[in-house]
């Protein structure tokens, strides 16, 4: 594998609206992020991905962009952004922007011009499609509920619709139009020229459409089919579009890019993230897929630690086989907190946070940490639907009530699966609003902020934060860096509830063993012949230890990393 500047790095995702508010308006901002750069540096991260900070009506929290080449005033200005870039760089941190170009906002001037004149150039940037038999063009259901088709504003009496795989305020951009593609390349280069080192590429499979707009077999009683199934069916021209994007933007700038791609296959992994892939890497979203392959929250299965680890390890095998780099994650802004979602109740705490962190941090690929994960944030106790902000959760709540669930059941289900779990404010200290803002936070604060916060953990040996620092340090330690970055991955089957794997240096000179126990019962595992005179513990959590006779002893949540 050819060495790349981003190999061996650790990345961190910031959800700007909820990270740190510098001006008391209840919304995080760029100056807030700047004020926390030393904190991020101390954690040990190298790459910072910012969820969208562009001007937006925030129907989908910034994933509905109304101007691609500016900063939303609630976050600051382009000058603030330049300051962030420069100050991050001083600390050895590179900034990665969110690239949301499957759709824009219905408030973007392109869409406004398009609706005002259906023969304008901008009209060609969207899918304006005639209905079929007096109905919408096909039966796809959008990600946030309802049809992907809506009548064009100002043309409600005509039989013509625009496509939106997400909210109706997020009209899909027509990548089959070369003029639209040129617009996209231009905006990407705008940020590259400013100093951005890469992009996280949103919902990118959705840019391919079957232009005959067929119906798909219904997946629920509403007669509709989830739009994601259309993407899974056929990737059509995606190679043409993404190779062009890469050649005209990422390649000349040597950008680091990470794609949001669900439903991968060995072929698509190679195509997307192999040595000549469209992107540097893809997120491991396999656990999400396990859940989201079901159309509604009410159908989402519970993911056990074994399901979780199977997804993660299958992904490792898949990427390794095609020489591709994956970006392992535990959570992001679209998911509940990993500790609450993937672990049994008795580990939904600081112990579990360390257990799962140990499994994540030594996988092959470039790990991404999501804000708050490093202090072990768990799900927030939402008690009423009014406490949610996310349009997705609100639609699922409506769906559950319509299907006869009680209000209490619907709220509990949204609280379990909802994206707002990850979006509640970052917990900095035990002062009102957890030190996130001096104003009224835009989303409620986590119930445990008095005890669960950065201040109570920073510099405190044994805290989750300190443990994350140590994990990152170990991952990047010069004597292990080659193995951690390029070494082969192999799973070790010890038993249900136990997550174990090795990483072996390509020249076989070094082997690392990672074991974590999510069972309540103690695990005693004899290393047998694997133990050598040089075997040593590199890091451990929750009292895990290696006995002199070569037995690894892991209590509930115990996790250990050994050099064999």
Catalytic residues: 202, 260
CB of 166 to ligand NOJ, least distance (A): 5
**Comparison of 99 and 561: residue with beta carbon closer to ligand NOJ:** 99
**Comparison of 329 and 400: residue with beta carbon closer to ligand NOJ:** 329
The candidate with the shortest Cα–Cα distance to 71, out of 117, 112, 16, is 16
Q: Give the span between the Cα atoms of 83 and 41, in whole angstroms.
A: 16
Applying the rule CB under 6 A, the residues between 42 and 61 that interact with ligand NOJ are: 60
**Comparison of 207 and 516: residue with beta carbon closer to ligand NOJ:** 207
CB of 227 to ligand NOJ, least distance (A): 11
Task: Give the β-pairing of 256-259 and 281-283.
Answer: parallel
100 binds ligand NOJ (CB under 6 A): yes
Partners of 560 in the β-ladder: 515, 540
**Comparison of 296 and 333: residue with beta carbon closer to ligand NOJ:** 333
In angstroms, the Cα distances linking 180 to 123, 184, 186, 243, 244 are: 10, 6, 10, 15, 13
Count Cα neighbours of 200 within 13 Å in the Cβ-side half-sphere: 24
Q: Give the span between the Cα atoms of 342 and 287, in whole angstroms.
A: 9
Applying the rule CB under 6 A, the residues between 319 and 358 that interact with ligand NOJ are: 333-334
CB of 60 to ligand NOJ, least distance (A): 5
Burial label, 504 (beta-carbon count in 10 A; 0-12, 13-18, 19+)? middle
- Beta carbons within 8 Å of 321's beta carbon, 6+ residues apart: 266
166 binds ligand NOJ (CB under 6 A): yes
Applying the rule CB under 6 A, the residues between 178 and 217 that interact with ligand NOJ are: 202-203
**Comparison of 162 and 166: residue with beta carbon closer to ligand NOJ:** 166
- Beta carbons within 8 Å of 461's beta carbon, 6+ residues apart: none
- Beta carbons within 8 Å of 464's beta carbon, 6+ residues apart: 350, 353, 354, 357, 374, 375, 376, 457
CB of 344 to ligand NOJ, least distance (A): 27
**Comparison of 366 and 500: residue with beta carbon closer to ligand NOJ:** 366
Helix and strand totals (H; E) in the chain:
18, 21
CB atoms within 10 A of CB 293: 17
CB of 354 to ligand NOJ, least distance (A): 27
420 binds ligand NOJ (CB under 6 A): no
The owner of tokens 């509920």 is 145
127 binds ligand NOJ (CB under 6 A): no
**Comparison of 168 and 333: residue with beta carbon closer to ligand NOJ:** 333
**Comparison of 58 and 467: residue with beta carbon closer to ligand NOJ:** 58
- Report the residue number whose CB is nearest to ligand NOJ: 63
CB of 260 to ligand NOJ, least distance (A): 6
Per-residue DSSP letters for 232-269?
A: HH--TTHHHHHHHHIIIIIHHHT-EEEE---S--HHHH
Are 173 and 163 in contact by the 8 Å Cβ rule? The answer is no
CB of 100 to ligand NOJ, least distance (A): 5
**Comparison of 419 and 446: residue with beta carbon closer to ligand NOJ:** 419
CB of 43 to ligand NOJ, least distance (A): 23
User: In the stretch 222-261, what mask flags binding to ligand NOJ with x, by CB under 6 A?
Assistant: --------------------------------------x-
Q: How many residues bind ligand NOJ (CB under 6 A)?
A: 9
Q: Give the span between the Cα atoms of 542 and 558, in whole angstroms.
A: 5
Tokens of 12: 């961190």
Kindly tell me which residue out of 63, 81, 162, 397 binds ligand NOJ, with binding defined by CB under 6 A: 63
- Alpha-helical segments (H) within 426-516: 464-476, 478-486
CA torsion through residues 345, 351, 357, 360, sign: negative
In angstroms, the Cα distances linking 460 to 10, 83, 369, 463, 476 are: 22, 31, 20, 6, 21
CB of 504 to ligand NOJ, least distance (A): 34
370 binds ligand NOJ (CB under 6 A): no
Applying the rule CB under 6 A, the residues between 258 and 277 that interact with ligand NOJ are: 260
Residue ranges binding ligand NOJ (CB under 6 A): 60, 63, 100, 166, 202-203, 260, 333-334
């Amino acid at each position: 594998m050819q060495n790349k500047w981003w190999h061996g790095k650790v990345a961190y995702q910031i959800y700007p609206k909820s990270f740190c508010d510098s001006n008391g308006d209840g919304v995080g901002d760029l100056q807030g992020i700047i004020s926390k750069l030393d904190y991020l540096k101390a954690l040990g991260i190298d790459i910072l991905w910012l969820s969208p900070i562009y001007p937006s009506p925030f129907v989908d929290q910034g994933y509905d962009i109304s101007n691609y080449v500016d900063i939303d005033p609630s976050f600051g200005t382009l000058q603030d952004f330049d300051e962030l870039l420069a100050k991050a760089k001083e600390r050895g941190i590179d900034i990665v922007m969110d690239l949301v170009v499957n759709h824009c906002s219905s408030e973007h001037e392109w869409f406004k011009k398009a609706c005002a004149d259906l023969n304008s150039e901008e009209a060609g940037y969207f899918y304006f499609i005639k209905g079929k038999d007096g109905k919408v063009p096909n039966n796809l259901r959008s990600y946030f509920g309802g049809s992907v088709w809506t009548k064009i504003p100002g043309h409600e009496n005509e039989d013509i619709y625009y496509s939106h795989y997400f909210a109706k305020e997020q009209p899909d951009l027509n990548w089959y139009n070369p003029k639209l593609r040129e617009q996209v390349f231009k905006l990407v280069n705008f940020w590259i020229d400013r100093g951005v080192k890469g992009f996280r590429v949103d919902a990118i499979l959705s840019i391919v459409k079957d232009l005959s707009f067929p119906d798909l077999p219904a997946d629920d009683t509403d007669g509709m089919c989830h739009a994601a199934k259309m993407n899974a069916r056929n990737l059509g021209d995606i190679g043409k579009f993404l190779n062009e994007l890469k050649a005209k933007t990422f390649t000349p700038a040597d950008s680091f890019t990470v794609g949001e791609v669900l439903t991968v296959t060995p072929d698509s992994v190679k195509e997307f993230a192999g040595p000549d892939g469209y992107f540097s890497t893809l997120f491991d979203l396999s656990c999400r897929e396990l859940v989201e392959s079901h159309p509604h929250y009410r159908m989402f299965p519970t993911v056990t630690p074994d399901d979780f680890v199977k997804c993660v390890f299958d992904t490792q095998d898949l990427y390794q086989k095609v020489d591709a780099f994956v970006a392992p994650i535990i959570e992001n802004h679209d998911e509940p907190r990993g500790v609450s979602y993937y672990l049994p109740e008795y580990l939904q705490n600081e112990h579990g946070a360390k257990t799962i962190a140990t499994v994540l941090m030594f996988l092959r690929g470039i790990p991404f940490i999501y804000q708050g994960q490093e202090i072990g944030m768990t799900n927030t106790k939402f008690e009423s639907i009014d406490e949610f902000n996310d349009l997705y959760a609100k639609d699922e709540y409506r769906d559950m009530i319509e299907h006869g669930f009680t209000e209490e059941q619907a709220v509990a289900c949204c609280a379990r699966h909802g994206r707002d779990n990850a979006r509640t404010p970052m917990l900095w200290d035990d002062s009102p609003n957890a030190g996130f803002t001096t104003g009224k936070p835009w989303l409620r604060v986590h119930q445990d902020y008095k005890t669960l916060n950065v201040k109570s953990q920073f510099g405190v040996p044994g805290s989750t934060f300190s443990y994350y620092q140590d994990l990152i340090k170990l991952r990047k330690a010069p004597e292990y860096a080659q193995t951690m970055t390029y070494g082969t991955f192999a799973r070790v089957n010890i038993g249900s509830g136990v997550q174990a794997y090795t990483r072996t240096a390509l020249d076989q000179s070094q082997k690392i063993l990672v074991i974590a126990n999510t069972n309540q019962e103690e695990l005693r595992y004899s290393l047998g012949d694997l133990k050598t005179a040089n075997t040593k513990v590199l890091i451990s959590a929750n009292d895990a230890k290696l006995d002199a006779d070569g037995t690894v002893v892991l209590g509930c949540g115990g996790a250990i990393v050994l050099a064999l």
